[in-house]
């Protein structure tokens, strides 16, 4: 089976490739010569995932899946949520986004948060969705050098390290994207 993962994010591609079994050939956007920015104009994480998967199917004809992920922080009423990648502006700077979160939480005792990933699969002209959630806390400082996005400030519940301090295998086994991808793989194998 060949399937496209509709992302330009090489970090996401690396995480997902580590979870996909070898009998499923994962194609990147580069592999199908898709070099344009895929629209993400919906107001929900779910909507963006569906929009990206549909875009590839409609414009390139491939079965595919796309994900969208958001960090939802209780004390910020669920922000940054669907705007996680561009929370501090259109430059999409991980550092700026983390700094904005840390500044916004400075005087707030509640640091509860969750990462939410929704994968939308467009396969055989049918749409399927898979959701992974990882609950945790926002740290007071950046910790760790691994990962990407908000990983240096997110510590999953039950762990004493941030995602950025964990190796990829551990992060995938407990993280939001790993949970959603494992549901996707189980579906594809059924």
CA atoms of 173 and 15, how far apart (whole Å) = 11
Closest CA to 101 of 115, 87, 119, 122: 87
CA atoms of 54 and 57, how far apart (whole Å) = 5
| Catalytic site includes residue 68 | yes
Contact 111, 138 (CB under 8 A): yes
- 87-106: buried (b, 16+ CB within 10 Å) or exposed (e) per residue? bbeeeeebeebbebbeebbe
Specify the 3-state DSSP secondary structure of 85.
helix
Contact 168, 177 (CB under 8 A): no
Considering the candidates 68, 94, 151, 167, report the single residue annotated as catalytic: 68
Specify the 3-state DSSP secondary structure of 166.
coil
Cite the active site residues. Answer: 68
């Amino acid at each position: 089976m060949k399937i496209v993962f509709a992302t330009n994010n090489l970090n996401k591609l690396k995480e997902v490739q580590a979870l996909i079994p070898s009998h499923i050939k994962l194609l990147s956007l580069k592999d199908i010569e898709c070099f344009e920015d895929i629209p993400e104009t919906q107001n929900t994480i779910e909507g963006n995932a569906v929009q990206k998967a549909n875009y590839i199917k409609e414009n390139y004809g491939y079965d595919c899946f796309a994900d969208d992920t958001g960090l939802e922080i209780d004390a910020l009423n669920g922000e940054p949520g669907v705007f996680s990648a561009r929370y501090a502006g259109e430059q999409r700077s991980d550092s700026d986004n983390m700094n904005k979160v840390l500044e916004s939480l400075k005087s707030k005792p509640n640091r509860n948060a969750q990462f939410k990933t929704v994968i939308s699969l467009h396969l055989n002209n049918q749409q399927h969705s898979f959701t992974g959630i990882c609950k945790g806390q926002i740290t007071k400082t950046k910790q760790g050098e691994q990962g990407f996005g908000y990983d240096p400030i997110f510590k999953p519940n039950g762990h004493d390290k941030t995602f950025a301090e964990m190796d990829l295998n551990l992060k995938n086994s407990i993280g939001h994207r790993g949970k959603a991808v494992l549901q996707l793989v189980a579906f594809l194998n059924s």
